[in-house]
Structure 1
Amino acid sequence: MTLLDGDGVDAVTLRGVARRLGVHLNSVSLQVGSKARLLDLMADAILGELSFDDLPADPIERIKAIFRRYRRVLLDHRDGAHLVSGTRVSETNTLRLGNAVIAALLDAGVDAELAVTTFWGLNYFVVGLVHEEQTLPDDGAQRFEQELEAHSFPALETVRDLFLGDDAEARLEFGMDALLHRARHQGD
């Protein structure tokens, strides 16, 4: 995890881990088997930092609290979203996330199919949002302005200031509300 946080996900290799630990490559390979397995274990370790303590009783608010925490845990690690998005892990901590969200959706009266679809939609939305937050180039606003000046994008021109506004927390809340809307009303 230190290698990830210091140098990013591209630096996480079996050889890099061995070098960092001061051991032979074979020792690392014997423990994790492959780089893919190493990344899976790291993604699950990140999700192990996600707390399920003191969640709201209301199922929909519980889900929103979980995904706010999920976002925070991903942001706490350099390339956290990139690492997690590249894996489809069936490990303890990852399954705890799915179980907690599915349980809350079922508690809200949502049928199983919609619960699963809503979980995946929220998961991909939050991981994508964090990935954008973690990879947004420093000159992104400047490049946007240059493209607006060079080409005709009248709709974007009318919302220029709003479009450039970077309020990831507001986008998180909007996206969660939108994705949970159907679930919220199916349970009524």
Structure 2
Amino acid sequence: MTVWDRPEPPNRPVPLDRERIVAAAVALADEGGLTAVSLRKVAARLDAGPMRLYGYISTKDELFDLMVDAVYAEILPGEQPGDWREALRVLAHRTRRSALRHEWLADLLGGRPALGPNGLAVSESTLAALDGLADIDTVMRAVETVSAYFTGAIRREVTDLRAERATGLSKSEWQRARGPHVTRMLATGRFPALAKAVHDGTHVDAEESFATGLEWVLDAVAARLA
């Protein structure tokens, strides 16, 4: 039985429900990451005894499932996108924006399927946009391919943000600090392709890089669907 199938106990003496518990857990994770979340800490934030929470949630994994589903409510589009390409584009960009608001989400993306009501609604909305374009196996591979792209891109971006906070250096500052080393290595002539990328490549920010890569993946999916 999943956490969504199990009924909630009476909310006394301190009023509790899963929604309040999950909101407190999300707030803790937003402040300090997933390592800052425990049933004890959530209970303390709610001014309730830790054992009270076990009536609502059995394990930390269940709590994480509920937290992810709460964020999927932010990812779910307000209205059905006009076509399959827009549906997958909206899914990718809304997931990225949610992950930047809740960086801990990047650690939980790409794992087990999201089975909560919001996660299922996102899946339904996405698959409905591709319904009838190809056989269901092709449709599933298309969605998985786009999901694999934006999950990896989001994780890389969040990792960079965490590194900036840990080192106190922005990405450009970090690159400048290591510039002399890179210059010496490129001057050896052993890395001509890399030298061309460093000297001639155009710098783009994370959002532009994400959007460009996404469009390339969507082009590939379009060719397969055709």
TM bucket (normalised to shorter chain) is 0.7 to 0.9
Give the conservation status (yes or no) of the 8 Å contact 2:43–2:49.
Answer: yes
Q: Deviations over 1:111-165 (max 9, x none)?
A: 2112111212222322222222222122455266466246454322221267683
CA RMSD of aligned residues (A): 2.6
Q: In the TM superposition, what is the alpha-carbon distance from 1:38 to its structure 2 partner?
A: 0.6
Query: Percent same amino acid at aligned positions?
Result: 26
What is the match of residue 23 of structure 1?
Answer: 48
Q: In the TM superposition, what is the alpha-carbon distance from 1:43 to its structure 2 partner?
A: 0.6
Q: Which runs of 5+ in 2 are unaligned?
A: 1-25
Q: In the TM superposition, what is the alpha-carbon distance from 1:65 to its structure 2 partner?
A: 2.0
Size of the aligned set, in residue pairs, is 187
Give the conservation status (yes or no) of the 8 Å contact 2:75–2:98.
Answer: yes
Q: In the TM superposition, what is the alpha-carbon distance from 1:16 to its structure 2 partner?
A: 1.9
CA distance in structure 1 between the partners assigned to 2:126 and 2:204 by the alignment: 27
Of the two structures, which has the highest relative contact order with CA contacts closer than 8 Å and spacing of 6 or more? Answer: 1
What is the match of residue 46 of structure 1?
Answer: 71
CA distance in structure 1 between the partners assigned to 2:50 and 2:184 by the alignment: 51
CA distance in structure 1 between the partners assigned to 2:35 and 2:112 by the alignment: 14
Superposition TM-score, scaled by structure 2 size:
0.71
Superposition TM-score, scaled by structure 1 size:
0.83
* 1:137-176 correspondence runs (5 A): 137-138=163-164, 139=169, 140-141=171-172, 142=174, 145=179, 148-149=182-183, 151=185, 153-160=191-198, 165-176=203-214
Q: In the TM superposition, what is the alpha-carbon distance from 1:87 to its structure 2 partner?
A: 4.8
Q: Which runs of 5+ in 1 are unaligned?
A: none
CA distance in structure 1 between the partners assigned to 2:61 and 2:94 by the alignment: 25
Q: In the TM superposition, what is the alpha-carbon distance from 1:41 to its structure 2 partner?
A: 0.8
Q: Which stretch of structure 1 is more off in the superposition, 168-177 or 32-41? A: 168-177
Q: Which stretch of structure 1 is more off in the superposition, 144-153 or 130-139? A: 144-153
Give the 3 Å change call, closer, same or farther, for CA 124–29 of structure 1 in structure 2: farther
- The structure with more helix, counted as a fraction of residues: 1
The structure with the larger Rg is 2
- Secondary structure in 1 aligned to 2:55? helix
Query: Which of 147, 152, 160 is the aligned partner of 1:128?
Result: 152
Q: Which stretch of structure 1 is more off in the superposition, 169-178 or 70-79? A: 169-178
Q: In the TM superposition, what is the alpha-carbon distance from 1:8 to its structure 2 partner?
A: 1.3
